[in-house]
Amino acid sequence: MEKLGLYLGCNIPFKAPDIEQSFRKIFPALGVEIEDLEGATCCPAWGTAPSFDLDTWCTISSRNITLAEDKGIDIMTGCNSCYGVMNEAKHFIEDSPDRKKRVNANLKTIDREYKGTSNVFHVSHVLYEKVGPEKIKESLVYSLDGLKVAIQPGCHILWPSDVYPVQEKNSFFPTILKELTQALGADVPHYSRLEFCCGMGGMRSTDVEKSLKLFTDKLMSMKEEIDPDMIVTTCSSCFLQFDMSQQILKERGVIDFSIPVFYYTQVLALALGFDPAQVAAISQTPRDEMIAEIQSDKRKIQK
């Protein structure tokens, strides 16, 4: 059984722990052992150290990577931003022997050393490359057959592709999440703003109205072009944006609908038969009806 270090980041353990629980349920069931990276910190988020000092960013990121190196395993993260921040830090460190020396001098003050022996993967990459859509398909208890899904891959697992250990064939037309969602039996039609930004992140904290403007464009593209039964993402920030902001737009009278939103591993956990009270229990946008639909008797796969 392959073993990976579970790096939680900030959003998942403190705002959406049901996503964390979905990781803890599905990966052992699919043959991937996960081990906690005790004492891991923030990646650090773009608005913190990366906005102040490049070496400090690389030092804090590499401290997290040393936690996995100590165990001789790779890292798996469910947050796109953490994936981007830590892989870019690795790129900056490994691109410059001088920076590597400075980073290790910083780490020496806390008795650590960055060696560069652990890779940082995203949850979706582990599911796609190490588990594979076929195994996911074979493990299902419930099928999403006939349900229409709008997917939201998120930005930071796509660009800049030259620093990432796993790349899409064409990062402006990503297909990994599409194939993973199709493996559940769902229909995943294309919509024109597939790779567009949802407006979360620095934009939301700098100017919420601009963020909502971008979000509305994205949401309306999904609604008008494919009218999905649900939205599925592999980015915890995108999840929070789609979950929170639909309610804001509804209260303002901008939209008169709402579309249930899931992190991919939540919908997979439901399709594997896990308890919704553990793996999909926290959301502002209502999704109970969709959860009941997914786990309905008529969707049970006869084996």
Partner 1 sequence: MSEYIKLDSEKISEAVKTIQDFGGTGILKCVQCGACSAVCPGVKAGFPVLCRLLIKKVLNGQLEEIIEETSTWGCQACNRCTEICPQGVRPQEVVFAFRRYQANDLAFSTSAMTSQMNLHSYGHAVFTDATELRKKVGLPPEAPTSAYNEKAQKEIQTLLENSPMGELGLY
CB 246 within 8 A of CB 287: no
Q: Which is nearer to partner 1, 45 or 270 (CB)?
A: 45
Q: Is 150 helix (H, G, I), strand (E, B) or coil?
A: strand
Q: Distance between CA 35 and CA 71 in Å, rounded?
A: 9
Binding of residue 24 to partner 1 (CB under 8 A): yes
Binding of residue 201 to partner 1 (CB under 8 A): yes
Segment near partner 1 (CB under 8 A); pick from 43-51, 126-134, 140-148, 180-188: 43-51
Site string for partner 1, 208-237 (x = CB under 8 A): --xx-xx-----------------------
Among 1, 97, 98, 109, binds partner 1 (CB under 8 A): 109
Structure tokens belonging to residue 161? 């592709």
Site string for partner 1, 130-169 (x = CB under 8 A): -------------------------xx-xxxx--------
Among 78, 153, 174, 199, binds partner 1 (CB under 8 A): 199
Partners of 261 in the β-ladder: 231
| DSSP structure class, residue 190 | -
Partners of 149 in the β-ladder: 230
Cβ neighbours of residue 292 closer than 8 Å, sequence gap 6 or more: none
The residue with tokens 């040393």 is 66
Residues 165-194 that bind partner 1 (CB under 8 A): 171-172
Binding of residue 56 to partner 1 (CB under 8 A): yes
